[in-house]
Amino acid sequence: MSVVASSLPPQLPVLDRVTRVDEVGVEERVARFCSRSIKKESKVRALKLALSMIDLTTLEGQDTRGKVTQLCQKAIHLHDAMPGLPHVAAVCVYPTMVGVARQALHGHDIKVASVATAFPSGMAPLSVKLEDTRVAVQEGADEVDMVISRGEFLQGEYSRVFDEIIAIKEACGRAQLKVILETGELGTLDRVRRASILAMHAGADFIKTSTGKIQPAATLPVTLVMLQAIRDYYHATGRRVGMKPAGGISKAKQAIQYLVMLRETLGEGWLTPEWFRFGASSLVNDLLMQLEKQRTGVYQSADYFSKD
Protein backbone atom coordinates (compact mmCIF):
# COMPACT_ATOMS: atom_id res chain seq x y z
CA MET A 1 0.00 0.00 0.00
CA SER A 2 1.55 3.29 -0.97
CA VAL A 3 1.21 6.13 1.47
CA VAL A 4 1.65 9.71 0.43
CA ALA A 5 3.52 11.53 3.18
CA SER A 6 2.34 14.99 2.36
CA SER A 7 0.40 16.86 -0.27
CA LEU A 8 3.43 18.86 -1.40
CA PRO A 9 5.21 17.77 -4.59
CA PRO A 10 8.40 15.83 -3.86
CA GLN A 11 11.53 17.95 -3.48
CA LEU A 12 14.99 16.84 -4.56
CA PRO A 13 16.95 16.72 -1.29
CA VAL A 14 20.33 18.44 -0.98
CA LEU A 15 22.49 15.36 -1.48
CA ASP A 16 25.70 17.06 -0.36
CA ARG A 17 24.29 17.27 3.13
CA VAL A 18 23.76 13.53 3.34
CA THR A 19 26.19 12.04 5.84
CA ARG A 20 29.42 10.49 4.64
CA VAL A 21 29.87 6.78 5.11
CA ASP A 22 33.08 5.11 6.26
CA GLU A 23 33.48 1.72 4.64
CA VAL A 24 35.75 0.18 7.25
CA GLY A 25 33.44 1.30 10.04
CA VAL A 26 30.45 -0.20 8.24
CA GLU A 27 32.22 -3.50 7.84
CA GLU A 28 33.09 -3.59 11.51
CA ARG A 29 29.49 -2.95 12.49
CA VAL A 30 28.38 -5.69 10.12
CA ALA A 31 30.89 -8.08 11.69
CA ARG A 32 29.24 -7.53 15.07
CA PHE A 33 25.86 -8.40 13.60
CA CYS A 34 27.36 -11.56 12.12
CA SER A 35 28.69 -12.68 15.48
CA ARG A 36 25.26 -12.74 17.06
CA SER A 37 24.31 -16.27 18.05
CA ILE A 38 20.74 -17.10 17.05
CA LYS A 39 19.70 -20.48 18.43
CA LYS A 40 16.71 -22.61 19.36
CA GLU A 41 13.34 -20.83 19.42
CA SER A 42 14.77 -17.56 18.20
CA LYS A 43 16.31 -19.42 15.26
CA VAL A 44 13.07 -21.18 14.32
CA ARG A 45 11.24 -17.91 14.54
CA ALA A 46 13.81 -16.16 12.36
CA LEU A 47 13.68 -18.93 9.75
CA LYS A 48 9.92 -18.68 9.49
CA LEU A 49 10.02 -14.89 9.41
CA ALA A 50 12.56 -15.05 6.59
CA LEU A 51 10.33 -17.43 4.62
CA SER A 52 7.43 -15.05 4.92
CA MET A 53 9.57 -12.24 3.54
CA ILE A 54 10.68 -13.91 0.34
CA ASP A 55 9.86 -12.57 -3.11
CA LEU A 56 10.26 -15.87 -4.94
CA THR A 57 11.93 -14.81 -8.14
CA THR A 58 12.48 -15.95 -11.70
CA LEU A 59 13.84 -13.36 -14.13
CA GLU A 60 15.41 -15.12 -17.07
CA GLY A 61 15.19 -14.74 -20.80
CA GLN A 62 14.23 -18.39 -20.94
CA ASP A 63 11.21 -18.06 -18.62
CA THR A 64 8.11 -19.73 -19.99
CA ARG A 65 4.52 -20.19 -18.94
CA GLY A 66 5.53 -23.62 -17.63
CA LYS A 67 8.42 -22.32 -15.57
CA VAL A 68 6.41 -19.52 -13.97
CA THR A 69 3.48 -21.80 -13.21
CA GLN A 70 5.74 -24.30 -11.51
CA LEU A 71 7.42 -21.55 -9.51
CA CYS A 72 3.98 -20.42 -8.32
CA GLN A 73 3.21 -24.00 -7.34
CA LYS A 74 6.31 -23.99 -5.18
CA ALA A 75 5.25 -20.68 -3.69
CA ILE A 76 1.92 -22.22 -2.69
CA HIS A 77 3.31 -25.57 -1.57
CA LEU A 78 6.67 -24.80 -0.03
CA HIS A 79 6.93 -28.10 1.80
CA ASP A 80 3.60 -29.68 2.59
CA ALA A 81 5.30 -32.27 4.81
CA MET A 82 5.93 -29.48 7.31
CA PRO A 83 2.75 -27.96 8.76
CA GLY A 84 2.54 -24.42 10.06
CA LEU A 85 4.74 -22.80 7.47
CA PRO A 86 4.05 -19.21 6.45
CA HIS A 87 3.66 -18.47 2.76
CA VAL A 88 6.16 -16.40 0.79
CA ALA A 89 5.35 -12.73 0.37
CA ALA A 90 5.35 -12.58 -3.41
CA VAL A 91 6.41 -14.06 -6.69
CA CYS A 92 8.56 -11.77 -8.84
CA VAL A 93 8.56 -12.07 -12.66
CA TYR A 94 8.92 -10.10 -15.90
CA PRO A 95 5.88 -8.04 -17.07
CA THR A 96 4.97 -10.55 -19.79
CA MET A 97 4.66 -13.27 -17.18
CA VAL A 98 2.51 -11.36 -14.72
CA GLY A 99 -0.68 -12.75 -16.21
CA VAL A 100 0.58 -16.32 -15.88
CA ALA A 101 1.53 -15.73 -12.30
CA ARG A 102 -1.79 -14.14 -11.43
CA GLN A 103 -3.61 -17.14 -12.85
CA ALA A 104 -1.41 -19.67 -11.05
CA LEU A 105 -1.70 -17.84 -7.73
CA HIS A 106 -5.43 -17.23 -7.97
CA GLY A 107 -7.09 -17.59 -4.59
CA HIS A 108 -3.85 -17.39 -2.62
CA ASP A 109 -2.60 -14.56 -0.50
CA ILE A 110 0.70 -14.23 -2.37
CA LYS A 111 1.42 -11.01 -4.23
CA VAL A 112 2.64 -10.68 -7.77
CA ALA A 113 5.60 -8.37 -8.17
CA SER A 114 6.90 -7.39 -11.57
CA VAL A 115 10.15 -5.85 -12.64
CA ALA A 116 9.79 -3.01 -15.11
CA THR A 117 11.57 0.00 -16.67
CA ALA A 118 13.77 -2.02 -19.08
CA PHE A 119 15.05 -4.23 -16.26
CA PRO A 120 17.86 -4.90 -15.58
CA SER A 121 19.86 -2.18 -17.34
CA GLY A 122 17.29 0.59 -17.49
CA MET A 123 18.95 1.79 -20.67
CA ALA A 124 15.86 2.84 -22.58
CA PRO A 125 13.96 6.09 -23.13
CA LEU A 126 11.55 7.11 -20.40
CA SER A 127 8.60 6.48 -22.71
CA VAL A 128 9.59 2.83 -23.05
CA LYS A 129 10.09 2.50 -19.32
CA LEU A 130 6.69 4.03 -18.61
CA GLU A 131 5.01 1.68 -21.07
CA ASP A 132 6.84 -1.27 -19.50
CA THR A 133 5.44 -0.20 -16.15
CA ARG A 134 1.91 0.26 -17.46
CA VAL A 135 1.90 -3.21 -18.99
CA ALA A 136 2.93 -4.74 -15.70
CA VAL A 137 0.26 -2.85 -13.81
CA GLN A 138 -2.43 -3.65 -16.35
CA GLU A 139 -1.55 -7.33 -16.26
CA GLY A 140 -2.27 -7.19 -12.54
CA ALA A 141 1.03 -6.63 -10.73
CA ASP A 142 0.59 -5.67 -7.06
CA GLU A 143 4.15 -4.38 -6.88
CA VAL A 144 6.58 -2.92 -9.39
CA ASP A 145 10.38 -3.17 -9.02
CA MET A 146 11.98 -0.40 -11.12
CA VAL A 147 15.65 0.35 -11.80
CA ILE A 148 17.17 3.81 -11.46
CA SER A 149 19.28 5.25 -14.25
CA ARG A 150 22.73 4.53 -12.87
CA GLY A 151 24.56 6.24 -15.71
CA GLU A 152 22.71 9.49 -15.06
CA PHE A 153 23.28 9.18 -11.34
CA LEU A 154 27.03 8.73 -11.87
CA GLN A 155 27.01 11.73 -14.19
CA GLY A 156 25.54 13.77 -11.37
CA GLU A 157 22.17 14.24 -13.11
CA TYR A 158 20.29 13.80 -9.87
CA SER A 159 17.24 15.77 -10.96
CA ARG A 160 16.68 13.49 -13.93
CA VAL A 161 16.98 10.36 -11.81
CA PHE A 162 14.61 11.94 -9.29
CA ASP A 163 12.00 12.99 -11.85
CA GLU A 164 12.09 9.58 -13.47
CA ILE A 165 11.18 7.88 -10.21
CA ILE A 166 8.29 10.27 -9.71
CA ALA A 167 6.97 9.51 -13.18
CA ILE A 168 7.21 5.76 -12.71
CA LYS A 169 5.52 6.03 -9.35
CA GLU A 170 2.64 7.78 -10.99
CA ALA A 171 2.38 5.08 -13.64
CA CYS A 172 2.20 2.49 -10.87
CA GLY A 173 -1.17 3.68 -9.77
CA ARG A 174 -2.13 1.59 -6.77
CA ALA A 175 0.80 -0.77 -7.17
CA GLN A 176 3.66 -0.45 -4.68
CA LEU A 177 6.94 0.86 -6.08
CA LYS A 178 10.28 -0.68 -5.18
CA VAL A 179 13.25 1.32 -6.46
CA ILE A 180 16.32 -0.74 -7.34
CA LEU A 181 19.54 1.23 -6.82
CA GLU A 182 21.83 -1.46 -8.36
CA THR A 183 24.37 -0.80 -5.62
CA GLY A 184 27.00 -2.94 -7.35
CA GLU A 185 27.24 -0.25 -10.04
CA LEU A 186 27.17 2.73 -7.73
CA GLY A 187 30.62 1.86 -6.42
CA THR A 188 30.83 3.56 -3.05
CA LEU A 189 28.74 3.46 0.07
CA ASP A 190 28.53 7.27 -0.05
CA ARG A 191 26.67 6.99 -3.33
CA VAL A 192 24.43 4.24 -1.99
CA ARG A 193 23.44 6.51 0.89
CA ARG A 194 22.67 9.41 -1.44
CA ALA A 195 20.74 7.28 -3.90
CA SER A 196 18.67 5.90 -1.03
CA ILE A 197 17.75 9.35 0.21
CA LEU A 198 16.98 10.52 -3.31
CA ALA A 199 14.72 7.55 -4.02
CA MET A 200 12.79 7.94 -0.80
CA HIS A 201 12.20 11.62 -1.33
CA ALA A 202 10.94 10.79 -4.81
CA GLY A 203 8.26 8.56 -3.35
CA ALA A 204 9.68 5.04 -3.26
CA ASP A 205 7.66 2.61 -1.13
CA PHE A 206 10.67 0.29 -0.93
CA ILE A 207 14.31 0.70 -1.75
CA LYS A 208 16.01 -2.37 -3.13
CA THR A 209 19.71 -3.19 -3.48
CA SER A 210 20.09 -4.97 -6.78
CA THR A 211 18.74 -6.57 -9.92
CA GLY A 212 20.66 -9.71 -9.03
CA LYS A 213 22.05 -9.74 -12.56
CA ILE A 214 25.51 -8.40 -11.75
CA GLN A 215 28.09 -8.94 -9.03
CA PRO A 216 28.13 -7.79 -6.35
CA ALA A 217 24.44 -8.01 -5.62
CA ALA A 218 23.10 -7.60 -2.09
CA THR A 219 25.68 -7.43 0.69
CA LEU A 220 25.35 -6.77 4.38
CA PRO A 221 27.33 -3.50 4.29
CA VAL A 222 25.24 -2.04 1.49
CA THR A 223 22.06 -3.12 3.21
CA LEU A 224 23.13 -1.54 6.48
CA VAL A 225 23.77 1.79 4.79
CA MET A 226 20.32 1.65 3.19
CA LEU A 227 18.63 0.72 6.46
CA GLN A 228 20.32 3.65 8.16
CA ALA A 229 19.11 5.93 5.39
CA ILE A 230 15.56 4.63 5.90
CA ARG A 231 15.89 5.33 9.60
CA ASP A 232 17.10 8.90 9.03
CA TYR A 233 14.28 9.51 6.54
CA TYR A 234 11.72 8.09 8.96
CA HIS A 235 12.88 10.35 11.76
CA ALA A 236 12.85 13.37 9.45
CA THR A 237 9.47 12.79 7.79
CA GLY A 238 7.54 10.20 9.76
CA ARG A 239 7.13 8.09 6.61
CA ARG A 240 8.05 4.43 6.62
CA VAL A 241 9.87 2.99 3.62
CA GLY A 242 10.53 -0.72 3.12
CA MET A 243 13.80 -2.41 2.20
CA LYS A 244 14.65 -5.36 -0.03
CA PRO A 245 18.10 -6.91 -0.45
CA ALA A 246 18.13 -9.04 -3.61
CA GLY A 247 20.58 -11.46 -5.17
CA GLY A 248 23.30 -13.50 -3.53
CA ILE A 249 21.35 -14.51 -0.43
CA SER A 250 21.05 -18.25 -0.72
CA LYS A 251 21.78 -19.51 2.78
CA ALA A 252 19.57 -19.39 5.85
CA LYS A 253 22.55 -18.25 7.92
CA GLN A 254 22.92 -15.14 5.75
CA ALA A 255 19.20 -14.42 5.90
CA ILE A 256 19.29 -14.53 9.68
CA GLN A 257 22.21 -12.10 9.71
CA TYR A 258 20.11 -9.70 7.66
CA LEU A 259 17.27 -10.05 10.14
CA VAL A 260 19.59 -9.36 13.07
CA MET A 261 20.80 -6.25 11.29
CA LEU A 262 17.24 -5.20 10.55
CA ARG A 263 16.12 -5.72 14.12
CA GLU A 264 18.97 -3.72 15.62
CA THR A 265 18.76 -0.87 13.10
CA LEU A 266 15.04 -0.33 12.59
CA GLY A 267 13.37 -2.52 15.18
CA GLU A 268 9.91 -4.03 15.48
CA GLY A 269 8.17 -1.87 12.89
CA TRP A 270 10.15 -3.34 10.00
CA LEU A 271 10.28 -6.99 11.07
CA THR A 272 7.40 -7.93 8.78
CA PRO A 273 6.94 -8.77 5.09
CA GLU A 274 5.07 -5.53 4.78
CA TRP A 275 8.32 -3.62 5.17
CA PHE A 276 11.12 -6.07 4.40
CA ARG A 277 11.64 -8.59 1.61
CA PHE A 278 14.32 -10.94 0.39
CA GLY A 279 14.71 -11.18 -3.37
CA ALA A 280 15.76 -14.81 -3.63
CA SER A 281 15.00 -18.24 -5.03
CA SER A 282 17.27 -20.96 -3.69
CA LEU A 283 17.10 -19.44 -0.20
CA VAL A 284 13.71 -21.07 0.28
CA ASN A 285 14.99 -24.62 0.37
CA ASP A 286 17.87 -23.77 2.68
CA LEU A 287 15.42 -22.20 5.12
CA LEU A 288 13.25 -25.30 4.91
CA MET A 289 16.22 -27.60 5.48
CA GLN A 290 17.27 -25.59 8.53
CA LEU A 291 13.75 -25.70 9.91
CA GLU A 292 13.67 -29.44 9.47
CA LYS A 293 17.06 -29.74 11.11
CA GLN A 294 15.81 -27.75 14.10
CA ARG A 295 12.80 -30.03 14.35
CA THR A 296 14.62 -33.37 14.01
CA GLY A 297 18.13 -32.49 15.21
CA VAL A 298 19.56 -34.03 12.04
CA TYR A 299 21.28 -32.36 9.06
CA GLN A 300 19.21 -32.53 5.89
CA SER A 301 19.70 -33.44 2.22
CA ALA A 302 18.45 -31.41 -0.73
CA ASP A 303 16.88 -34.55 -2.14
CA TYR A 304 13.94 -34.21 0.21
CA PHE A 305 12.87 -30.71 -0.78
CA SER A 306 11.13 -29.89 -4.04
CA LYS A 307 13.00 -27.90 -6.63
CA ASP A 308 10.64 -26.23 -9.09
Partner 1 sequence: MARTESKLEFDTDWKYSPAPESTDHIRIDPQYELFIGGKFVAPRERQYFDTINPAREKTLARVARADRGDVDRAVAAARRAYERAWSKLEPAERGKYLYRIARMLQERSREFAAIESLDGGKPIRESRDVDVPLAAAHFFYYAGWADKLEYAFPGRRAAPLGVAGQIIPWNFPLLMAAWKIAPALACGNTVVLKPAETTPLTALKLAELMRDVDLPPGVVNIVTGAGDTGAAIVEHPDVDKIAFTGSTEVGRLIQRRLAGTGKHFTLELGGKAANVIFADAAIDQAVEGIVNGIFFNQGHVCCAGSRLLVQESVADEVIAKLKERMETLIVGDPLDKNTDIGAINSAAQLEKIEQYLRIGQAEGGEMYQSSCSLPETGYWCRPTLFSGVSQSNRVVQEEIFGPVLSMQTFRTFQEALDKANNTPYGLSGGVWTDKGAKIFKMTRGIRAGVIWANTFNKFDPSAPFGGYKESGMGREGGLHGLGAYVELY
Question: Site residues (CB under 8 A) for partner 1?
Answer: 19-22, 24-26, 28-29, 35-43, 45-46, 49, 228, 231-232, 234-238, 259, 263-264, 266-269, 271
As measured in angstroms, the least distance from the Cβ of 165 to partner 1 is: 20
Task: Give the CA distances from residue 15 to residues 11, 148, 168, 180, 209, in Å, rounded to whole numbers and listed in that order.
Answer: 11, 16, 21, 18, 19
Q: Which of 169, 178, 208, 286 is catalytic?
A: 208
Let me know if 67 is a catalytic residue: no
Q: Which of 55, 205, 244, 286 is catalytic?
A: 244
Question: Taking the alpha carbons of 85, 86, 92, 93 in that order, is the dihedral positive or negative?
Answer: positive
As measured in angstroms, the least distance from the Cβ of 204 to partner 1 is: 18
As measured in angstroms, the least distance from the Cβ of 265 to partner 1 is: 8
Strands 54-57 and 242-244: unpaired
As measured in angstroms, the least distance from the Cβ of 290 to partner 1 is: 15
Let me know if 48 is a catalytic residue: no
As measured in angstroms, the least distance from the Cβ of 263 to partner 1 is: 6
Cβ proximity to partner 1, 190 vs 308, nearer residue: 190
Let me know if 109 is a catalytic residue: no
Angular region, 201: left φ>0, alpha ψ -120 to 50, beta rest: alpha
Angle of helix 158-172 relative to helix 126-139, nearest 10 degrees, comes to 30
Contact call for residues 265 and 32 (beta carbons, < 8 A): no
Q: Which of 55, 132, 145, 286 is catalytic?
A: 145
The catalytic residue positions are 145, 208, 244
